[in-house]
Structure 1
Amino acid sequence: MIIAVLAVLIASIVTFIARQSSEGPVTPVGPAQGCQVTVEDLSSYLTWEQSVNASIIVGESIRRGLPPRAATIALVTAYQESDLRNLDYGDADSVGLFQQRPSQGWGSVEQIMDPWYSAGKFYEALVKVDGWETGVINDVAQAVQRSAHPEKYAQHESKGRAWASALTGYSPAAISCVDRAENPSDSAFLTDFFAIVWPDAVTVTTSDTGGLLIATDSDTTSWAAAQLALVRGQNAGLVTVQALEQSWTVSGNEHASWQPAAPAAAPVVVTLR
């Protein structure tokens, strides 16, 4: 019996070695590409597609001067309605991140399929809900959406809070991403975004080495800008981000940790490929 088991084990090893010789070394499989937020004991993952959509939803709330709670409610709603994907289909004539219906006055299909527009329309409706600042998030979301499943929003509240807290700058060094695409530099993917979100509170200049130097009006804004840049990083070709005295470097095989860093030339410094 022992001899038979050894024979099978040896055969397996020989087969593995033969495959490596003929096919080359086996490449280790790392974590899924995308971004992860960790706030207190909660970790939540988004694909790169979801991450970019989350950045727009949160960015629009900042642009409107709304508190982080507004971003939480919007993210919770978009999680339930589309899983943070900009869908061109849905129940009846529903489309987009929030599954808004042209027939119900939310706008044309073309308008709703623009994430900036659909997020803006959501916030316009949100601030008209009595007590939205303090009410139960599930109930506030339902008051906006009028869903056939009014109790479903609550299941997304914890992760919605975590992403909103990090992306509005209230949970520093809370996001890390995995990127194996190695896209070329596209600074406009970040600078155009910052110009929309912070037309006055953030100033972006280009360093001698091509990096982005981001001046902000507060530490909270610095962390919001840094982590919003990070979740848009794959399309921008982002390599490193430094916020105040902490820095992060992209990895293709792990969720790299933020590390202590010496003060830089600006509150936030972004390096692109």
Structure 2
Amino acid sequence: MPKNRPGPTLADSRGRPRARRRPRWVPILLVLAVVGTAAWFGARFLIQSVVNPQCTIRAGGITETFDPDQTANAALVAALSIKREMPPRAATIALTTAFQESKIRNLRYGDRDSLGLFQQRPSQGWGTKEQILDPVHATNAFYDALEKYQGYETADITKIAQRVQKSGFPEAYRDHEGQGRVLASTLTGHSPAGLTCRLDAVRTSVTPQRVAADLSQQMGVTSVRPGESTLTVTAPDRTTAWAVAQWAVARAEIYGASTVSVGERVWDRAAGDEGWSAGPDGTTVTIHLG
């Protein structure tokens, strides 16, 4: 039988190196780091998921926010006033009216047979249901009626809107003059760089030819050179250039525009709320799609 071996002496025990213990706070820090990272990514995702796309317009010391559908319709209304060579006041009246009637949405319903941006009624001679639901027809019909009243350029907006619309709530238009003014001033090009939009990433885009056709139909601008994925517009003056540029930003959700530039000033879809870059502007507008 093997002999029992003596255990370690006191001297042997003291001389043997002990394994170092990891400080208790190290795993705590690791857990906190993991939790913190997960929380940061979770908060970022949550913020991105709850912050809806919106457009902000600043002009004359007034700031208003709208969703992309509203600004797209508003840009069309303002553009048609430019095509018809009407003063910005006409766009203010039209946009004030549309905001009161539909919140500038092309509604397929309304009081009795009212429809569309201006809640026009087929039974009152504004056109067929299909025509009224065409924003171009509806807006031109409003401007046709507006031009029949001499002095509308200086008339009280509420009174002239009521004469055109014959609403059951005539004083309600007065509540939305601020929105009408800021939209008209910006979208007719009189408040440069006044509009910026925070939008989701581009999912689909239309052809430059489609944008050129809409620009011609809505604003009457035909000095356009379509490229493979860009559209270059040579405007006759700086005001028109900004009207074209802000029309493109306002309708960027429809067209899939990623950048719009006026000279060296650029609106970048990826920049979120940062707005237009600094730099000299001009009369050349470039719209990049996709």
- Give the alignment's TM-score, normalised by structure 1: 0.86
Query: Contact conserved, 2:212 with 2:222, CA < 8 A, in 1?
Result: no
How far apart, in 1, do the equivalents of 2:152 and 2:281 lie? 40
Name 1:46's counterpart in structure 2. 66
Whole-angstrom distance in 2 between the partners of 1:137 and 1:97? 18
Deviations, residues 180-227 of structure 1 (Å, cap 9, x unaligned): 14222213442121111344x5411134x6321111111111000000
Structure with the higher fraction of residues in helix conformation:
2
The structure having more radius of gyration, on CA atoms, is 2
Is residue 2:126 matched to residue 1:106? yes
Q: Provide the C-alpha distance between the structure 2 equivalents of 1:66 and 1:18, rounded to a whole number of angstroms.
A: 58
User: Following the alignment from structure 1 to structure 2, what is the Cα–Cα distance between the partners of residues 182 and 61?
Assistant: 29
Q: Which runs of 5+ in 2 are unaligned?
A: 1-30
2:7 aligned residue:
none
Specify the alignment match of 2:257 in structure 1: 238
Q: What is the CA deviation profile of residues 26-46 of structure 1, one whole-angstrom value per residue up to 9, with x for unaligned ones? A: 315254302110113211111
CA distance in 2 between counterparts of 1:132 and 1:149 reads 20
Structure 2 residue 225 is the aligned partner of structure 1 residue 190: no
Report the CA distance between 1:64 and its aligned residue.
1.0
Tell me whether 1:255 sits opposite 2:276 in the alignment: no
- Residues 177 and 251, structure 1, Cα contact 8 Å, conserved in 2: no
Q: Note the 1:166-177 alignment, pairs <5 A.
A: 166-177=186-197
Equivalent residues of 2:57, 2:63 under 8 A apart? yes
Shift of 1:122: 0.3
- State how far apart, in whole Å, the 2-side matches of 1:161 and 1:122 are: 17
Residue 190 of structure 1 aligns to which amino acid in structure 2? V
Any idea what SS the aligned residue of 1:106 has?
coil
Query: SS of 1:242's equivalent?
Result: strand
Q: Residues 183 and 234 of structure 1 are in contact (CA less than 8 Å); yes or no, is this contact kept in structure 2?
A: no
1:62-81 equivalent positions in 2, closer than 5 A? 62-81=82-101
Instruction: Work out whether residues 102 and 116 of structure 2, in 8 Å CA contact, stay in contact via their aligned partners in 1.
Output: yes
Structure 1 residues 202, 260: CA separation in 2 closer, same or farther (over 3 Å shift)? farther
Which residues of 2 match residues 79-228 of structure 1 at below 5 A?
79-186=99-206, 187-199=208-220, 201-207=221-227, 210-228=229-247
Name the SS of the counterpart of 2:74 in structure 1: helix
Q: CA deviation at 1:260?
A: 2.3
Contact 1:34 1:51 in 2 (8 A): no
> Do the aligned residues in 1 keep the contact of 2:198 with 2:273 (CA within 8 Å)?
yes
Asked whether the equivalents of residues 212 and 226 of structure 2 are also in contact (C-alpha less than 8 Å), the reply is no
Change (3 A) 1:261 1:206: farther
How far apart, in 2, do the equivalents of 1:164 and 1:179 lie?
22
Q: CA RMSD in A?
A: 2.4
Code of the residue aligned with 2:195 in structure 1: it is I
Determine which of 248, 269, 272 is the counterpart of 2:286: 269
Q: Which residue of 2 aligns with 1:25?
A: 42
Which whole-Å CA distance do the structure 1 matches of 2:185 and 2:209 have between them? 25
Identify unmatched segments of 5+ residues in structure 1: 1-12
State the alpha-carbon separation in 1 of the partners of residues 260 and 279 from structure 2: 11
Structure 1, residues 80-99: CA drift from partner, whole Å, max 9, x if none? 00011111111111111101
Paired-residue identity, %: 38
Q: TM-score, normalised by structure 2?
A: 0.81
Residue pair 2:95, 2:184 contacting (<8 A) in 1 also = yes
Contact 1:94–1:101, Cα closer than 8 Å, also in 2: yes
